[in-house]
Amino acid sequence: MVNMKRLTGKVAIVTGASSGIGHATAKLLAGEGAQVVVGARRKAELDRLVTEIDAAGGKAVALSGDVCDEGYAQALVDLAETTFGGLDIAFNNAGTLGEMGPTTEVSAASFTDTLTTNLIAAFLGAKYQVPAMLKRGAGSLIFTSSIAGHTVGFPGVASYCASKSGLIGLTQSLAAEFGPKNIRVNAILPGAVNTPLYRKMNGTAEAQSFIAGLHALKRVSSPEELAHAVLYLASDDSSFMTGAALVVDGGTSINRA
């Protein structure tokens, strides 16, 4: 029987894996044959995820920590190399919404904290992930950006939008720098996804109905739908794709009705 799994023999890191898009993606990549290192701050949730992946016949290990810590970024790569022999795929997905409200009332410290979690942590991840991929002769690096700060402007979340916009610049720079060495770098740009972060931002049924209406599909995405977009970028299905800001937003960016 032909093995149809797209990531057999590959090793992946997924951050922000304790819930939402990261959790769904870690399970999908493992189901497609990848050996997965999962990271997030919440150890208990990561341990449960590893148990689920193992029970489904996959392979995963967990390391809890703070993505803002450079030592943690290095430790995730070290774990991938010592446990599974290398690194081929990295999904830098961990992020935060940051302080919401009028921009004139947001503190500089809060703004900086959001950029540190969403943008600088992604840079730190790439700083250690790229050298490991170069050892393998190829790799796929993926970031979670957003339509916010790119195709759509949202009031009251300036630090979030700025950080997610910055990720697109980081994606493009890394793609140009490491493309000659067969490292592909792309970003997914979700619309609204039914995650804890989404529910925090839209805490009432009325708010959620309004957000769903902004999409051409008149609904928000599931984490699993975004996971399939990540799988596409992680696999050879997207072998000629790099530097892309892949919009996966249910038509929010083009919807006017």
The string of DSSP letters for 144-176 reads E--SBTTTB--TT-HHHHHHHHHHHHHHHHHHH
Does residue 199 belong to any structural domain of this protein?
no
pLDDT value at position 11?
98
pLDDT value at position 31?
98
Of the candidates 72, 128, 160, 232, the residue annotated as catalytic is: 160
Q: Could you give the CA distance from residue 209 to residue 60 in angstroms, rounded to a whole number?
A: 37
Sequence-separated contacts (24+) of 98-104 with Cβ below 8 Å: 98/157, 98/159, 98/160, 98/163, 99/159, 100/156, 100/157, 100/201, 101/156, 102/156, 103/156, 103/158
pLDDT value at position 1?
52
Q: Is position 232 annotated as part of the catalytic site?
A: no
Q: Which parts of the chain have pLDDT scores under 50?
A: none
pLDDT value at position 4?
81
pLDDT value at position 3?
60
pLDDT single digits (tens) 180-200:
999 999 999 999 899 877 887
Residue type, 71: G
Domain tally, the chain: 1
Does residue 213 belong to any structural domain of this protein?
no
- Phi–psi pair at 96, nearest 5 degrees: -140, 155
Q: Does the global pTM surpass 0.75?
A: yes
Does residue 200 belong to any structural domain of this protein?
no
Nearest-5° Cα angle at 150, 187 to 94 = 45
Does residue 212 belong to any structural domain of this protein?
no
What's the length of the chain? 257
Does residue 179 belong to any structural domain of this protein?
yes
Can you give the residue range of the structural domain that contains 237? 11-193+222-248
Q: Could you give the CA distance from residue 107 to residue 242 in angstroms, rounded to a whole number?
A: 36
Q: Could you give the CA distance from residue 55 to residue 51 in angstroms, rounded to a whole number?
A: 6
DSSP H helices in the chain: 20-31, 43-55, 70-84, 108-115, 121-136, 158-178, 196-201, 205-213, 223-234
Does residue 171 belong to any structural domain of this protein?
yes
Does residue 168 belong to any structural domain of this protein?
yes
Does residue 152 belong to any structural domain of this protein?
yes
Q: What is the CATH number of the domain that holds 67?
A: 3.40.50.720
